[in-house]
Amino acid sequence: MAEADVRHFIDGDFTAGATGRTFENRSPVDGSLISTVHEGGREEVAAAVAAARAALAGPWGRMSVPERAEVLHRVADGIMARFDDFLAAECLDTGKPRSLASHIDIPRGAANFKIFADLIKNVPTEAFQMPTPDGTGALNYAVRVPKGVVAVISPWNLPLLLMTWKVGPALACGNTVVVKPSEETPTTTALLGEVMNAAGVPKGVYNVVHGFGPDSAGQFLTQDAGVDAITFTGETRTGEAIMAAAATGVRDVSFELGGKNPAIVFADCDMDAAIEGTMRSAFANCGQVCLGTERIYVEQSIFDAFVARLKEGAEALRLGPPEDEAANMGPLISKEHQDKVLSYYRKAADEGANVVTGGGVPDMAGDLAGGAWVEPTIWTGLPDASPILREEIFGPCCHISPFSDEGEVIGRANDTPYGLCASVWTGDMARGHRVSQALDVGIVWVNSWFLRDLRTPFGGAKQSGIGREGGVHSLEFYTELKNICVKL
Ligand code: NAD
């Protein structure tokens, strides 16, 4: 695969496909052209799904679990062996700091194969000896079988990490996949095709079709009757469209969707830790993290001090391109996303927010002026009903509101259609447990953020998702549990 020409990966080969359509992939850092990407239509999707179906009946389907696990270990090792290639591709597509991608995106991309390869070798199922009226008895047991062809549709914010978080367990369970990566970040998904071939993954097990969502590869993939299940990470509204498509044929879905996550900071917290954690949860990856914090509630007595310290932290952030070792914040993913985030910056000002810091586009020198940069931004003073506190912005911004008691803040934190995650900062552990249990979300961090053993369940409540992935919970989605009863 030449980096300048990103092709589909179908049945073990890179192909331009039949549509002849391509689109441009532009750098978020300076707007320059990174690559030309081939856009898949119904035909490419059908070819990829057919290859995936055929592979189920081939060597992949006949492999023992330990053999499959060994192949996936080789995939993980292959990613690490080409660490620099993956790092360069991910940074080029996203513009994120190299330090971030090298610590999180690429190693987790590899780990996602190892974790599930090891898990699948050790997962138990049930078996019961049961009596029968004639006295001979029966053996009733369950086995896990793959679901079949799984469609994987992934977003752009953590491209390799989030895509492999689904491909890893899907393959470990013996399925085959057709991946539709985000149109913004196609490169590492394509690069993984090379690693799959080198690792000896049979042809057709891992397929990639590039393109957009509606009227393009994404929609066609969800509509293809050869797809048995759909796993998706992205916006809630996209999830609704995919769910409607999945209804035809009653296909199973697993959704990791949007959020409007609160952080609750009590006066008895360790202020240094709360500031450090909130700096990361609000501004890491330029605020483009589904688990990021856009609503912060701070107990009245420490409100002013907290706002002042977060302002100081935001103003110390250094914006720069991936190769700038001192930079800790990159650009947004695209000019289009920059427009969306800036529309919220304007809306906040129109609604009379107090702009504590930021609120605009930074002055970037030279070529960087063509990039999708925005300032890290903090607001105070808006009511809870404001769109700034209700809608997911997905940028480096947050609103801070004061609160006066625990019951009140729990009610305000829960007053949202979303339910992905929350952070609670307190020195009182009983309160930490109590508040965690009262929050309507899938994940709560107490005195931390983004800390999770990958064996635990991950997913959102309310409109933030359907189902849980992680550890054995992934197996619930990626396998069918078959019940077999043998009369003895
Ligand atoms: P998006 O929904 O716009 O796109 C995600 C993917 O879906 C892309 O590959 C896109 O091409 C495809 N798509 C779009 N419309 C489609 C359609 N009608 N049919 C099939 N596919 C379609 O999301 P995004 O902008 O790429 O990512 C940001 C969003 O993802 C945010 O809402 C964020 O909160 C969410 N997200 C959630 C999690 C989580 O774990 N809950 C993790 C990361 C991101």
Pairing of strands 377-380, 354-357: antiparallel
Q: What are the backbone dihedrals phi and psi of residue 256, each rounded to the nearest 5 degrees, phi first?
A: -115, 110
Is the CB–ligand 1 distance for residue 257 below 6 Å?
yes
* Ligand 1 midpoint to CA 461 (Å): 17
* Ligand 1 midpoint to CA 130 (Å): 47
Pairing of strands 252-256, 465-466: antiparallel
Q: Stretch 36-45: mean pLDDT, rounded?
A: 98
Point out the residues that are catalytic. 256, 290
Contacts of 1 (CB under 8 A, 6+ apart): 7, 14, 190, 191, 193, 194
- How much of the chain, in percent, has pLDDT values that exceed 70? 99
Taking the CA atoms of residue 320, residue 321, residue 325 and residue 329 in that order, the dihedral angle to the nearest 10 degrees is: 50
The residue whose two tokens read 């660490």 is 83
Give dist(CA 297, CA 405) in Å, integer.
11
Contact 472, 119 (CB under 8 A): yes
pLDDT tens profile 368-383: 999 999 999 999 999 9
What mean pLDDT is reported for the chain?
A: 97
Atom of ligand 1 nearest to the CA of 158: 43
| The listed CATH number (3.90.550.10, 3.40.50.1970, 3.40.309.10, 3.40.50.360) that belongs to domain 261-453 | 3.40.309.10
Q: Stretch 24-44: mean pLDDT, rounded?
A: 97
- How much of the chain, in percent, has pLDDT values that exceed 90? 99
Question: Domain extents for the chain?
Answer: 5-257+464-487, 261-453
Is the CB–ligand 1 distance for residue 39 below 6 Å?
no
pLDDT tens profile 195-247: 999 999 999 999 999 999 999 999 999 999 999 999 999 999 999 999 999 99
* Ligand 1 midpoint to CA 421 (Å): 17
Atom of ligand 1 nearest to the CA of 222: 20
Can you name the CATH fold of 5-257+464-487?
Aldehyde Dehydrogenase; Chain A, domain 1 (3.40.605)
Is the CB–ligand 1 distance for residue 392 below 6 Å?
yes
Query: What confidence category does residue 1 fall into, taking pLDDT thresholds of 50, 70 and 90?
Result: very low
Listed residue (206, 207, 147) closest to 174, CA to CA:
147
Contact 458, 469 (CB under 8 A): yes
Q: Stretch 253-267: mean pLDDT, rounded?
A: 98
Give dist(CA 125, CA 147) in Å, integer.
17
* Ligand 1 midpoint to CA 458 (Å): 17
pLDDT tens profile 73-121: 999 999 999 999 999 999 999 999 999 999 999 999 999 999 999 999 9
The answer to whether the pTM exceeds 0.85 is: yes
Is the CB–ligand 1 distance for residue 287 below 6 Å?
no
Contacts of 175 (CB under 8 A, 6+ apart): 56, 146, 147, 148, 149, 150, 478
* Ligand 1 midpoint to CA 211 (Å): 13
Query: What confidence category does residue 4 fall into, taking pLDDT thresholds of 50, 70 and 90?
Result: confident
DSSP string, 72-124: HHHHHHHHHHTHHHHHHHHHHHH---HHHIIIIIHHHHHHHHHHHHHHHHH--
Give dist(CA 179, CA 333) in Å, integer.
20
Is the CB–ligand 1 distance for residue 219 below 6 Å?
yes
Q: Inform me whether the pLDDT recorded for 3 exceeds 80.
A: no
C-alpha distances in Å from residue 393, one per residue of 50, 331, 339, 471: 38, 15, 11, 30
pLDDT tens profile 350-367: 999 999 999 999 999 999
Is the CB–ligand 1 distance for residue 259 below 6 Å?
yes
Is the CB–ligand 1 distance for residue 470 below 6 Å?
no
Atom of ligand 1 nearest to the CA of 237: 2
